[in-house]
Amino acid sequence: MRLIFELSGEDTKLAKAEVFSLFHDYKVLFDLGMILGLEVSMDLDEGGDRDPKVEDLRLLAMTHCVSEILGESDDIKEDIIESAKKISIEKRPLSVRCRKVKDCKIRSGEVERAVGEIFYQKGFKIDLREPKIEIKIIICGERAFIARKICDCDKKFLRRNPMEMPFFYPGVLNPKLARVLVNLCGLKKGERLLDPMCGSGGILIEGVSRGLEVFGVDVRGRMVEGAFKNLRFSAFKGYNLMVGDSRNLCFKDRSMDGIVVDMPYGQSSPIIGKSARELYYRSMEEIFRIFKKRCVVVAREDLSEIAEIIGFRSIERYDQRVHRSLTRKILVLS
Ligand SMILES: C[S@@+](CC[C@H](N)C(=O)[O-])C[C@H]1O[C@@H](n2cnc3c(N)ncnc32)[C@H](O)[C@@H]1O
């Protein structure tokens, strides 16, 4: 099926990576900056073992909305109407909304009314309050897409304000980035996620909230206690915490489906090791030994050279600028 993703626009590269990590097989149909079109294998009702389900789409942190493409045309009202005429879907009450992603001459209200009229003539009831089908006309650049909304992505998790948790410390990851990182790891419900430098537990909370079995380790007992308080406060189940050193972990080889880690930056989160490089190198060796599917490693330095030496086959890199003196380097490794 053909899907259209309306990205939130703050970091389109990372937003796309998050979308791609959902699918084992996809083809990019178009990439218009904040609008991404993919051909994917996905069954909305069932969802195969390897295919994502609608609940997985909802977890995209940097996407507003996902829809199925029903028609496509130039951004000319008459062409959009012609395209709408060819659409064949089950007759249920529907609404039509138009969104212009980039400025263009076309008037949204006019297009909504004209396309609504086409569906009305086909025998559809128009219901703007409680539609069973939401038709979206997305106009971007010189193209227009008619799509059927599958879901809005969840934004409730953004209310998880780290400052309102029982334990707060300044090095905490914000919930949005925690969700992006866990998404990049591409795990399915019930799989095992390890954060070997868990701090106050931001990554772990994201993991348990979506039904992963999570394991958190931190070298400082105070942090493990804090993570425990935060996890208990979040009221999700399925977490295991322990004090330990990421350079020498107690887990068996390939015992974790995924590993997500936010390495210390050496300011509010101290580096416990002989040097930063020694900590990174030895922790990465342990991560390589323990992971099964994919790892996501965040650090203030680019660790791709270390990842290569250790033996990771696939290395993707993303930068996330935090402020003038800190750009996070995110590696997705397998
Ligand atoms: C950037 S913080 C992690 C923040 C965490 N993601 C959060 O949301 O709170 C890095 C953590 O690594 C821990 N750490 C430093 N050296 C370590 C080591 N050798 N083994 C395990 N944890 C270590 C620090 O205590 C700190 O809590």
One domain for residues 196 and 275:
yes
Q: Are residues 140 and 219 in the same domain?
A: no
Co-location of 108 and 234 in the same domain:
no
CATH number for position 43 = 3.30.2130.30
Pocket test for ligand 1, best of 194, 208, 239, 269 (most atoms within 8 A of CB): 269
Indicate whether 191 and 228 sit together in one domain. Answer: yes
**In a shared domain, residues 143 and 168:** no
- Domain range enclosing 288: 157-333
Instruction: Based on the fold, state whether residues 86 and 109 are members of the same structural domain.
Output: yes
| Same domain membership, residue 316 and residue 182 | yes
Cα 188 to averaged position of ligand 1 atoms, centre (Å): 25
Which ligand 1 atom sits closest to the C-alpha of 246? 20
Pocket test for ligand 1, best of 179, 219, 248, 303 (most atoms within 8 A of CB): 219
Q: Which of 117, 134, 152 is the last residue of a domain?
A: 152
Greatest Cα pair distance in the chain: 74
Last residue of a domain, one of 129, 152, 175: 152
HSE-CB of 157 using CA atoms within 13 angstroms = 22
pLDDT digits (tens, 9 = 90+) for 82-97: 999 999 999 999 999 9
Q: Is the CB of 206 under 6 A from ligand 1?
A: no
Tell me the CA–centroid distance for residue 244 and ligand 1, in Å.
11
Please tell me whether residues 222 and 276 are part of one structural domain.
Answer: yes
* Segments of the chain with pLDDT less than 50: none
Q: Are residues 314 and 238 in the same domain?
A: yes
Query: Using an 8 Å Cβ cutoff, are 194 and 213 in contact?
Result: no
pLDDT tens by residue, 232-260? 999 899 999 999 999 999 999 999 999 99
C-alpha 294 – ligand 1 centre gap (Å) = 20
Q: Give residue 102's pLDDT.
A: 83
Overall domain count for the chain: 2
| pTM of the predicted model as reported, rounded to 2 decimal places | 0.95
pLDDT attached to residue 47:
61
Q: Which of 42, 63, 64, 62 is nearest to 54 (CA)?
A: 42
Residue 130 sits in the same domain as residue 237: no
In this structure, which amino acid lies at residue 333? L
**CATH code at 235?**
3.40.50.150
Residues 148 and 161 in one domain: no
Which atom of ligand 1 is the closest one to the Cα of 261? 6
> Any residues with CB less than 8 A from the CB of 86 and at least 6 apart, and which?
71
Of 95, 128, 152, the one marking the end of a domain is 152
Could you tell me if 186 and 225 lie in one domain?
A: yes
Cα–Cα distances (Å) from 157 to 17, 52, 77, 79, in that order, read 20, 20, 38, 39
